[in-house]
Structure 1
């Protein structure tokens, strides 16, 4: 189900709780909502649809991939980026890392660990900021 986008900075500034199997419907809604907004968005966090759970979705080509309980294990190559956000007005500067090592669970709650670089790493870092209540 496609859900409306939350724009309330007070809500978005609250850290998210860990996700569980019971939150899989939220992950599916997040995939649907990102897919409906891919013309202007490459990633979303669950709090952007009103649910404070550690779930993000990123665009990988034409697919939207859900990640539950993502966690950065390591990072390298700090740089400054300018980013916009579907939930917030304007563009802001922020620090990102070129390479991150990430752990997360898929929609079957299976654990994954992978290394992301470049734009994919930047998207995940932005969405994890959402999960941590950090507004850029």
Structure 2
């Protein structure tokens, strides 16, 4: 189901609760909403659709990837970026890392670890900020 985009900064500023296998329907809605907005959006976190769970979905070099309970375990190469967001007005500055190693659970709740670089790493960092309640 395509959901409305949440723009409530008080809600977006909350730290997300851990996701569980019962949250798989939320991930499906997140993917459908991201697909609907793909012409102007490359990633979303569950709080952007009004659900306070630690789930993100993003364009991973042409295919969408969902991560449950993602966390950055290593980062390198800091730089300054400017980012927009469907939930927030305007463009905002953010400190990002060129390379991030991420640990997450897949849709079967199996642990995965992978290093992402460049644009994909930046998208992941933005969405994990949403999970942390960070409003850039």
Q: Which residue number in structure 2 is paired with residue 107 of structure 1? A: 107
- Residue 64 (structure 1) shift: 1.7
Q: Give the TM-score of the pair, scaled to structure 1.
A: 0.98
**Alignment correspondent of 1:11:** 11
Instruction: Compute the displacement of 1:111 (Å).
Output: 1.1
Specify the alignment match of 1:45 in structure 2.
Answer: 45
* Structure 2 match to 1:88: 88
Equivalents in 2 of 1:55, 1:78: separation in Å? Answer: 24
Which ranges of structure 2 fall in alignment gaps of 5 or more residues? Answer: none
Give the distance between the partners of 1:60 and 1:76, measured in 2 at CA: 19
> How much is the aligned-residue C-alpha RMSD, in angstroms?
0.7
Gaps of 5+ in 1: none
Aligned residues: 136
Q: In the TM superposition, what are the counterparts of 1:18-57 in structure 2 within 5 Å? A: 18-57=18-57
Distance 1:35 1:59 in 2: 10
Q: C-alpha offsets along residues 47-103 of structure 1, whole Å, 9 cap, x if unaligned?
A: 000000000001124422110000100000000000000101100111000000001
Normalising by the residue count of structure 2, what TM-score does the alignment of the two structures yield? 0.98
Residue aligned with 1:76, SS:
strand
